[in-house]
A and B are shown apart, each in its own frame.
Chain A
Amino acid sequence: MIDINESVMQFLLAFVVAGPLLGAVAALLPAPPGLKGKSPGQAVLRHGVTVTGAILAAAIVLALGFDHDHPSRMQATTDISWIPALDVRIHLGIDGISLPLLVLTALLTFLCALYSYFKPPAGPAPKAFVALLLLLESGTLATFAVLDLLLFFLAFEMVLIPMYFLIARWGGAGRTRAAWKFILFTLLGSVVMLLGLLLIGIKAGTFDMVALATDNGRSLTTSVQVIAVLAIGIGLAVKTPMWPLHSWLPDAHTAAPTVGSVLLAGVLLKMGTYGFVRIVLPVAPDGFRTFAPYLAALAVVGIVYGSLACLALARQGAKGDLKRLIAYSSVGHMGFVLLGIASTTPTGVNGALFANIAHGLITGLLFFLVGALKDRTGSTDLDTLAEETGAALYGRAPRLGGLLAFGAVASLGLPGLAGFWGEMLALFGSFRPAAGLSRPAFLTFMAIGAFGTLLTAAYMLIVVRRVCMGGADRETAQLADVHGYEFAAWTPLVALTILAGLWPKALLGLTDPAVQQLLAGGPR
């Protein structure tokens, strides 16, 4: 949109990746004179807002300077040798696939830091909290910006430790167990993934994603591709998460602090699906084609399973936890993303990438709202909240209730909001899957997936009825309505949800050329 010098772009991208890392180190040091603030805690939280704000600004400038006429071209690239012995290069770059995720990450982290500034997390001193948040941001941003397989792995692993501590130290009930489950599941997946990445790197002679994608699997035999896709796929599927490897997710979400849940759902899950699109699809197309039907089948099982689990949780008397419910709904939503990827068509993959972003915005918002609800009522248990008739949020805190209803209908995929396009395109993709994939099978998957959207609508509406509506007698106990800082943290998410719903081309225009290129043989 605006013309920015290439070397400035390079610097901005490097800054976006390395900035949070430096910020994390700085957060651990004592505050310099003049920046001490009211208390050490306040000073370090403000530091967090400053750093994430600067990163967000840099990401926005990157997005503005991005050449929107050629989104399939890698831009702002840096390529420096780091470890020649392993052939690891610091290769950074963004294209239409990674740019939206990069901006989403920077945005969500900034909003989380802002929210924490006004509502410090309950737990030990916030110093380590800010440092971990920044470390997490660095890891996720690096995942989306690096173009080297081993560097990707490094970034992928980098988020584990910060997230573990965020859950284990600032989380709610059952946090220790949940944190362990999170890290062990992900790590078991990612070491298997490492073996697959090494196999590809050794057999193809390079770890460079661009070179590998351009090669499009020509230098890899089919059996190598099959083994590599299986190994890498397991690692990514744990992170995504794909049914039946999802069982860490509900526990982690339920136990994590609000900010942790937002980032986990909004950003961390996307690392898995991004890996599928960026690595598996272009690098090992033959191997992926072998597994695509199975992936699609597991994806639709995930869609139905997630929705049924949510329905069960939403029932009266089920003692369903609202956070857990949203976590299970994530399993369903990510199922759509996987279905789109499995179709291996531009339509499906575009839908998957769109659904990725939409899920990040909407689920991020929902976790914020549920966190706020917990702060006000002290519980996220649906039965405790709703009692006999319903929690009557519309009456007691109308704005909060309205936002919750907005988040719920956006999540169920109401046309005109962000949730709609991604899932529709993913279903479209599986209506006409890529050549070589069984059409009847994919048609079945599509039908089941479409049925899943109905189930999604059902449980979301039940939640709205039980939380937002309720008997008139309950309206007496007023709740604090949305605070100013909450508005500040949530408005961008609401606005972007509407924008993406009404003007999907803004996003699809970026992803489509890049996806076309990727499926046809890698970015240039």
Chain B
Amino acid sequence: MSAQPLAESLVQSVDWLAIAPPTLAAVVALAVLVADLFVPEPRKAVLGWVSVAGLAAATALLLPLLDGDRATFCTDAPARACSYTADHFTLVIQFLVLGGALLAALLSVTHLDDERRRVPAGEFWFLLLSSAAGAALLPASRDLATLIVALEAASLPAFALVGIRHGDKRSSEAALKFFLSSVTATAVSLMGISFVYATTGTLHLTRVAQRLTHVDGQLHTLAQAGVVLTLVGFAFKTAAAPFHFWVPDTYVGAPLPVAAYLSVVGKAVGFSGLILVTVVAFPSYADVWGPALAVLAALTMTAGNVAALRQRATRAYSAVRLLAWSSVGQAGYLLVPIAAAGYTKDAERAIGSTVAYALMYAAVNLGAFAVAALVGRGRALNRIADYRGLYATNPLSALLLAFFLLCLAGLPPGVIGLFAKVTVFSAAVDAGLGWLAVVMAVNVVIALFYYLQWTALLFRAPEGEPVRHRVPAPLTAALALTGVVGVALSGAPQLVLRFAAGGLF
């Protein structure tokens, strides 16, 4: 009689279906790594397609979870708290992460095909899938330890991915830069978590939230310091200023699909972690993290957009550099509703604006990277000047890039970009953050300048003889997918904007 409850408490029952999406990605990662040993050199492409299929299957596994009521790894004493929860928030972010990884994988198939000598296929796919598995785990984590483990699982393979090109100095330098700054940020986060643990004695986010409401007066400062320091690691992944300096060099040094992956999935990791720790774990300290994030958001968008404005079109890799800086600017917009959540009673609605904006951003930013990958095949330097007259040689991809850039800028015909910005603005106005809304308004105009400059360049008369390329099938698929999503969302913005109406947690 007495042995059974003991066994139950030692061996938890696991809801395998709930954890299936990240688990499948991890399993396929291992499978690919092992298979790499047995697949002969000329047939390495198979690995790529297996990985793409794995990611697609992991995304499809989200379907049975749509009710959003599953949780696992729970403890009941004193109150029920779970380490892994598959609620609506988790599902949306997992969809974003796995879908983003899938598109990055499609770009990678072509990239690996082009650079067969320099990039080892098996390792590449293993790292990409492991990182995706970690990133998919993160939004589901509901305790600080799992959160950090997921953050590291998403980050560590990414360092290796950035530096994966053999004999490329820029690539290894970028990886080192990325690694050192990221590790520092994570270490600071860990220290913050230890402070929080010291004051509350628990790691579960919901319990942390409860116990933080009545912290011993002596420990109050410690708790505050813990809250702020915990944010650092996630702010780093989101590429928020002043933790954004790694971004341009890392993006330029990394293989292009990896840069695309970092710009979307890396950011998703950062902001979903931020949301979890701020809104779920530290709601009672909103007066600390709210203003901090608001300042961070203003700094980030300004730093990103001003730097993007200063990019010269003729500099080598200026296209990727511009996308890198613009992604910093966009990260600033993503932070605005999270900051607003600190000021308003209805934090869920504000968070929903971030989620909606992130979904829009993921689709159109990956689309822009897909076009950049296409152009980069013909022009290795990938300068913005190389996009001149793209309409003449490849009208469809030029129109798509123009559409994506206008979405990022938030101007019609990029309707979804406009309305995503409107939700962010309304979250700020709703929370009484008028000054932040005005800063963002100025930033939107600054950003328009460089996005539109690039767009206008696409339609200029080409210099020299136009070179026509055949577009490889995986790139076509990625372009078609992002294009269809962008256009569909522009027609029916409700598809993503409904998250801005709340009901995620």
The residues of A with any CB-CB pair to B shorter than 8 Å are 28, 82-86, 88, 124, 128, 135, 139, 150, 153-154, 157-158, 160-161, 164-165, 168-169, 180, 183-184, 187-188, 191-192, 194-195, 198-199, 201-202
- Residue numbers in A under 8 Å from B444 (CB-CB): 187, 191
B356 to chain A, nearest CB (A): 8
Nearest Cβ in chain B — how far from A507, in angstroms? 31
Q: Which residue of B lies closest to A28 (CB)?
A: B399
**A154 touching B426, Cβ below 8 Å:** no
Known interface pairs A157-B412, A195-B438. Does A84 touch B430 (Cβ–Cβ under 8 Å)?
no
Q: Ordered nearest first, which 9 A-B pairs have the shortest CB separation?
A: A191-B441, A85-B497, A85-B501, A158-B412, A83-B494, A85-B498, A198-B429, A85-B500, A198-B426
Chain B residue nearest to A161 in the complex (CB): B411
Contacts A168-B456, A198-B422, A202-B430 given: A83-B438 contact, CB under 8 Å?
no
Q: Closest CB-CB distance, B487 to chain A, in whole Å?
A: 11
How many A-B contacts if CB must be within 8 Å? 91
Taken together as a complex, chains A and B put the C-alpha atoms of A135 and B415 apart, in Å, by 14
A124 to B391, CA, bound (A): 12
Which residue of chain B is the closest to A176 with respect to CB atoms? B456
Excluding A85-B500, A124-B461, 8 further A-B contacts by CB distance (< 8 Å) are A82-B494, A83-B493, A84-B501, A85-B494, A154-B419, A160-B411, A188-B442, A202-B429
Contact of A183 among B352, B434, B442, B452 (CB under 8 A): B452
Question: Contact check: which of B429, B493, B498 meets A195 at CB < 8 Å?
Answer: B429
Q: For the complex formed, measure the closest distance between the CB of A218 and the CB atoms of chain B, giving whole angstroms.
A: 21
**Chain B residues whose CB sits within 8 angstroms of the CB of A161 once the complex forms:** 406, 411-413
Interfacial chain B residues near A124, Cβ < 8 Å: 461
B445 at the interface (CB under 8 A from A): yes
How far is B448's CA from A160's CA once the two chains are assembled, in angstroms? 12
CB neighbours of A82 from chain B (8 A): 493-494
The reply to whether B426 and A184 contact each other, CB–CB distance below 8 Å, is: no
Chain A positions within 8 Å of B497 at CB level? 83, 85-86
A86-B500, A199-B429 as given contacts; A191 in contact with B445, CB under 8 Å: yes
> Which of B418, B426, B444, B494 has the most chain A CB within a 10 Å cutoff?
B426
Q: Which residue of A lies closest to B443 (CB)?
A: A191
Which among A85, A153, A154, A184 has the greatest number of chain B C-beta atoms within 10 A? A85
Tell me which residues from 427 to 479 in chain B have a Cβ below 8 Å from any Cβ of chain A. Answer: 429-430, 434, 437-438, 441-442, 444-445, 448-449, 452, 456, 459, 461
**Chain A contacts for B429, CB-based, 8 A:** 195, 198-199, 202
B459 engages A165 (CB within 8 Å):
yes
Tell me, in angstroms, the Cα distance from A201 to B429 when the chains sit together.
10
Contacts of A158 in B (CB 8 A): 412-413
Report the nearest A residue to B498, measured CB to CB. Answer: A85
B395-409 vs A, Cβ < 8 Å mask (1 yes, 0 no): 000010000001000
Interface size class of chain B, counting residues whose CB lies under 8 Å from the partner chain:
35 or more
- Inter-subunit contact B425/A198 (CB<8 Å): yes
CB contact between B494 and one of A84, A150, A198 (< 8 Å): that residue: A84
Query: Chain B contacts of A198 at CB under 8 A?
Result: 422, 425-426, 429
B94 within 8 A of A: no
CB closest residue in chain A, given B434: A195
Select one of B356, B426, B445 contacting A187, CB under 8 A.
Answer: B445
Kindly state the separation between the CA atoms of A153 and B441 in the bound complex, as whole angstroms.
14
For this complex, 25 residue pairs linking A to B, each with C-beta atoms less than 8 Å apart, are: A82-B493, A83-B419, A84-B498, A85-B497, A86-B423, A86-B426, A86-B493, A154-B412, A157-B418, A158-B413, A161-B413, A165-B456, A165-B459, A168-B456, A180-B449, A183-B452, A184-B445, A187-B448, A191-B441, A192-B438, A194-B425, A194-B441, A195-B441, A198-B426, A202-B426
Q: How far is the CA of A161 from the CA of B501 in the complex (A)?
A: 30
A187 to B430, CA, bound (A): 22
Q: Is the CB of A169 within 8 A of B441?
A: no
B498 CB contacts on chain A under 8 angstroms: 84-85
Task: Please indicate the chain A residues that have their CB under 8 angstroms from the CB of B434 in the complex.
Answer: 195
Q: Mark B140-183, 1 if CB is under 8 A from A, else 0.
A: 00000000000000000000000000000000000000000000
Name B452's contact: one of A28, A85, A164, A194 (CB within 8 Å): A164
Given contacts A83-B497, A161-B406, A202-B430, contact A139 B412 (CB under 8 A): yes
The minimal Cβ–Cβ distance linking B108 to chain A, given in whole angstroms, is 32
**Shortest beta-carbon distance from A214 to chain B in Å:** 23
Q: Which residues of B contact A84 (CB under 8 A)?
A: 494, 498, 501
Partner of B422, one of A28, A150, A165: A150
Residue of B at shortest CB range from A168?
B456
- Chain A hits for B461, CB < 8 A: 124
Q: Which of A84, A161, A191 has the most CB of B within 10 A?
A: A191
Q: Which chain A residues border B449 with CB–CB below 8 Å?
A: 180, 184
Expressed in whole angstroms, the Cα–Cα distance for A87 and B433 within the complex equals 21
Whether A169 and B459, one on each chain, are in contact in the complex, defined by CB atoms closer than 8 angstroms, is yes
Chain B nearest CB from A193 CB (Å) reads: 10
Residue numbers in B under 8 Å from A201 (CB-CB): 426
Chain B residue nearest to A159 in the complex (CB): B412
Closest residue of chain A to B412 (Cβ to Cβ) is A158
Q: Mark B177-211, 1 if CB is under 8 A from A, else 0.
A: 00000000000000000000000000000000000
Q: Enumerate chain B residues within 8 angstroms of A169, measured Cβ to Cβ.
A: 459
A84–B356 Cα distance when bound, in Å, is: 14
- Bound CA–CA A157/B418 (angstroms): 9
Complex Cα gap A187–B441 (Å): 10
Chain B neighbourhood of A135, CB < 8 A = 413
Q: Which B residues touch A192, using CB under 8 A? A: 438, 441
**Bound complex: CA of A47 vs CA of B385, how far in Å?**
34
B422 and A194 form a contact (CB under 8 A)? yes
What 0/1 pattern do residues 357 to 387 of B give for CB contact below 8 A with A? 0000000000000000000000000000000
On chain A, the residues within 8 Å of B426 by CB distance are 86, 198, 201-202
Closest residue on chain B to residue A24 by CB atoms: B413
Residue of A nearest to B356 (CB): A85
A86 pairs with B422, CB closer than 8 A: yes
B412, A85: Cβ atoms under 8 Å?
A: no
Which residues of chain B are near A202, meaning CB under 8 Å?
426, 429-430
Known: A86-B497, A198-B429. A188 touches B445 (CB 8 A): yes
- Which of chain B's residues have a CB closer than 8 A to the CB of A150? 419, 422
Q: Which of B289-342 contact A (CB under 8 A)?
A: none
Residues of chain A within 8 A (CB-CB) of B501 are 84-85
Smallest CB–CB gap between A195 and chain B, Å? 5
Give min CB distance, B391 to chain A, whole Å: 9
Contacts of A191 in B (CB 8 A): 441-442, 444-445
Q: How far is the CB of B494 from chain A (nearest CB, A)?
A: 5
* Highest count of chain B CB atoms <10 Å: which of A150, A188, A195: A195
Q: How far is the CB of A121 from chain B (nearest CB, A)?
A: 15
Contact A85 B445 (CB under 8 A): no
Q: In the complex the two chains form, what is the Cα distance from A483 to B411 in whole Å? A: 40
Residues of A within 8 A of B399 (CB): 28
* A212–chain B nearest beta-carbon distance, Å: 16
Q: Smallest Cβ distance from A427 to chain B, in angstroms?
A: 36
User: Within the complex, what minimum Cβ distance (angstroms) separates B336 from chain A?
Assistant: 13
* Across-interface contacts of B356 in A (CB, < 8 A): 85
B441 touches A154 (CB 8 A): no
Question: How far is A85 from B422 in the complex, measured between Cα atoms in Å?
Answer: 11
Given contacts A124-B461, A160-B411, A164-B452, contact A154 B494 (CB under 8 A): no
Q: How far apart sit A299 and B406, CA to CA, in the bound complex (Å)?
A: 34
Q: Which of B412, B429, B438, B442 has the most CB of A within 10 A?
A: B412
Contacts of B438 in A (CB 8 A): 192, 195
Query: Smallest distance from the beta carbon of A489 to chain B beta carbons, Å?
Result: 28
State the CA gap A195–B452 with chains docked (Å). Answer: 22
Name the residue in A154, A184, A194, A199 with the highest tally of chain B Cβ atoms < 10 Å from its Cβ.
A194
